[in-house]
Structure 1
Amino acid sequence: MTSPAPEPRPGAGADAGAPASPAASSSDPFQPADVTWARVSPRLIPVRWILVAFWVGLPALVCAVLAVLLTVWLWIPAGVLAAALLWAVLLIPRQVRAIGYAERDDDLLIRKGILFRQLVVVPYGRMQFVDVSAGPLARRFGIATVQLHTAAASTDAEIPGLAPGEAERLRDRLTAHGEARLAGL
């Protein structure tokens, strides 16, 4: 006895009963099959903590001092900023663990985000140049950022928090892949 063919979903096309392709069989578009993700350095966590402390913690401290000197009402923004600082301190390690990249034969995948996830696929042949940068704080913690520039500015992608040796290796490898793809055009 044969089982009946599955009924197509409402609104599905004519190929709704066709078997799914291997790429489409994954239920998570942010986790492609057969991809091994490389993570960024955990040294990115204290760098981001310092930046958040400067941009959120310092204004919270200023509001608290002004609340003591001037008016009690300034405790409200100080409290809100302190709560935002605490939230960021708890969230940053998870955000850094969510950043990953994977090199494939024809493209580079970059993923990031927890609640709002993002997966960027950069074909090697579309890259114009690869930039490695590190500010004073990043250099102090021994990390760098690799930024990929493509023809369309909206598709530029970056990988923060790489060890300098890995950033250099990735820059050289991506540049070689890009030149090889351009030579084939």
Structure 2
Amino acid sequence: MDGLFAPVEGTWQPVSPRLATVRRILLVPLVAAVALIGVILVLLPLDTWVTVLGGALAIGGLAGMVWTWVWAGRNQRSWGYAENVDDLLVTSGVMFKRLVAIPYGRMQFVDVQAGPVARAFGIATVTLHTASPETAAQIPGLPADEATRLRNRLTDLGETRGAGL
């Protein structure tokens, strides 16, 4: 089954481990806020059902923090891309694995984005757009210099291979 997701040529290029850090910075505080609300509801002298609800929120929030921490690392390690002669392969997913092959000639434009936290960590997301939204793909967590190199290379390949479109 692993051969199903193997690149035709070369090896998978991983994304930066800083992607997991950025996702943890953005998601763990949100889940921690739920746990904190739960603790506050437990400590306040309120009705029994509110205290039970607070306990459930506190336990759920703590479990959510652990799950989010683990998820961010596993998700980051699942992303990869491979540049073949005729197409770009992008893979992702831990439980539900996905592989997208995008022919260079089908690319319409390449988009690079980075929010304030991603920029602070020096990473960006490269999104490849085609005429079909089903074959569009994104590669999050690329170091900024690699995102620039990939954008320029894909743009050049798209222009040379897409002349017949």
Q: Give me the TM-score of the superposition, normalised by structure 2.
A: 0.89
Aligned-residue offset at 1:118:
0.7
Q: Aligned pair 1:59/2:53, yes or no?
A: no
Which runs of 5 or more structure 2 residues have no equivalent in the other structure? Answer: none
- TM-aligned CA distance change 1:47 to 1:102, over 3 Å: same
Q: Is the 8 A contact 2:18 2:141 kept in 1?
A: yes
SS of 1:153 mapped into structure 2: coil
Distance 1:32 1:163 in 2: 22
Q: How many residues align?
A: 160
Which runs of 5 or more structure 1 residues have no equivalent in the other structure? Answer: 1-25
Distance 1:62 1:39 in 2: 38
Residue 182 of structure 1 is matched in structure 2 by: 162
Greater CA radius of gyration, 1 or 2? 1
Distance 1:176 1:132 in 2: 15
Cα-Cα RMSD = 1.6
Distance 2:106 2:39 in 1: 50
Residue 140 of structure 1 is matched in structure 2 by: 120
Larger displacement relative to structure 2 (131-140 or 31-40): 31-40
Distance 2:137 2:125 in 1: 10
Q: Is the 8 A contact 2:34 2:57 kept in 1?
A: no
Residue 122 of structure 1 is matched in structure 2 by: 102
Q: Is the 8 A contact 2:32 2:62 kept in 1?
A: yes
Among candidates 1, 16, 40, match of residue 41 of structure 1: 16
Residue 83 of structure 1 is matched in structure 2 by: 63
Aligned-residue offset at 1:45:
1.4
Percent of aligned pairs with the same amino acid: 51
Q: Is the 8 A contact 2:8 2:84 kept in 1?
A: no
1:92-171 aligned at under 5 Å gives the runs 92-171=72-151
Q: Is the 8 A contact 2:107 2:162 kept in 1?
A: no
- TM-aligned CA distance change 1:169 to 1:27, over 3 Å: closer
- Amino acid in the other structure paired with 1:30: F
